A and B are shown apart, each in its own frame.
Chain A
Amino acid sequence: MSDQITFTIDGVEVKGKPGQTILEAADAAGIYIPRLCFMKDLIPHGSCRVCTVFINGRPQAACTQPITEGAIVENDTAELKEHRKNIIDMLFVEGNHFCMFCEKSGNCELQAMAYRLGISAPKYPYLFPKRDVDATHPDILIDRNRCILCGRCVEASRDVDKKTIFEFVGRGADKKVAVNANADLKDTDFKATDKAADVCPVGCIIKKRVGFAIPVGQRKYDTKPIGSDIEAGKK
């Protein structure tokens, strides 16, 4: 078996190793496929669908789909940009995102994705759902107003920290991140040093007393769009 697989992304030839996903191979080649739920070193959850690409004409999640010889992948197209904008728009109106006072602002992957896609306001009506905040833990808080149900905390706590503190409960619009079924965060052995305390892409699971430390203008996505680090590695 060959140890190299060749395929194309938007007409550009990309080489990858067997077992790699489209997203991993694209990253290695310096091609950015927008994504939200995916995080390196966690099992791809495939929940957000922002990374959707067309593979031989069929829509697939790039973060879960393995590369295949000769595949024709479309990524940076007007249609997919529209699809990605739609998802981001929905995530904004389905939660309560008050970026103007959010500790994560400037370092938030959801916000950064909206910036990269050029969204000035979501096109859907705001739902303003009622969501709760759990500030019981001395060092970490959960503000579910900002949760996008990416699943990173669930996986990191289960697979890396081996604690399984977080789990999804409910369905549809009522789905939420729960803590050990019905406990408060203070009743768990969650620590600020846990992996799960560092994975949230948005301002939902955040450490106390560290917010707003970086001045506006110097935060991660203030001047450089999300993904530009990957694009900088373009071959």
Chain B
Amino acid sequence: MSKPKVATASLAGCFGCHMSVLDIDERILKLIELVDFDKSPVDDIKEFTGRCAVGLIEGGCANEENVRVLQDFRRHCDVLISVGDCATMGGIPAMRNNIPLKECLDEAYLNGPTVYNPSGIIPNDKEIPLCLDKVYPCHEVVKIDYHMPGCPPSADTIWQTLVALLTNKPVDLPYELIKYD
């Protein structure tokens, strides 16, 4: 029997949650026995090659590309998990959510104390994904099956959740492993 596949993505996140996946240390060898990685920055596979058992999403949706990737994950993954506070509640990027988008862009490209931008242009190339009005937690965009809070969630949290799911056991984490910071 072929191994189940896991895919991962970093949307509006800092990659810290992916670092926390790597923080499972030598257990990564056991993980490789349990699963194959599909689309993921871990193996640099850019497009899905087939159906995946589990999708891990780091980061919320800050721009239209994040939304497209997230929808693609929902289509390809049986179980989709929000990993980290950015995915579950917007996290640090969501600090812009009560400031109008234009004010944020003006501050970043025109008015900020360290800005050097003599042409006064706010980047608008077609290649750059459009920013959303605010940063959305993943479950406000697609259905999410499990939430793993934390910034980042600890390696133990990620490990125990993954192993439970991949071995068809209930995800029943001890008190110490669900934390919001």
Interface of A toward B, CB cutoff 8 Å: 92, 96-102, 105-106, 111, 114-115, 118, 120-122, 125-126, 128-131, 216, 222-223, 225
Judging by beta carbons under 8 Å apart, are B134 and A128 in contact?
A: yes
One of B65-73, B83-91, B115-123 contacting the partner: B83-91
Bound Cα distance from A92 to B98, whole angstroms? 15
Bound Cα distance from A128 to B134, whole angstroms? 10
Number of A-B contacts (CB under 8 A): 66
Residues of B within 8 A of A106 (CB): 181
Q: Which of B141-181 contact A (CB under 8 A)?
A: 146-149, 151, 175-176, 178-181
Judging by beta carbons under 8 Å apart, are A115 and B140 in contact?
A: no
Count residues of chain B with CB under 8 A from any CB of chain A.
26
Given A98-B92, A121-B137; A115-B181 close (CB under 8 Å): no
Bound Cα distance from A129 to B99, whole angstroms? 10
- How far, in Å, is B91 (CB) from chain A's closest CB? 7
Judging by beta carbons under 8 Å apart, are B98 and A120 in contact?
A: no
Interface of B toward A, CB cutoff 8 Å: 82, 85, 88-92, 94-95, 97-98, 134, 137, 139-140, 146-149, 151, 175-176, 178-181
Main secondary structure of the interface of A (DSSP, over half): loop
Judging by beta carbons under 8 Å apart, are B181 and A102 in contact?
A: yes
Residues of B within 8 A of A120 (CB): 88, 146-149, 178
Bound Cα distance from A86 to B95, whole angstroms? 24
Residues of A within 8 A of B89 (CB): 92, 97, 121-122, 126
Bound Cα distance from A223 to B178, whole angstroms? 10
Residues of A within 8 A of B179 (CB): 115, 222
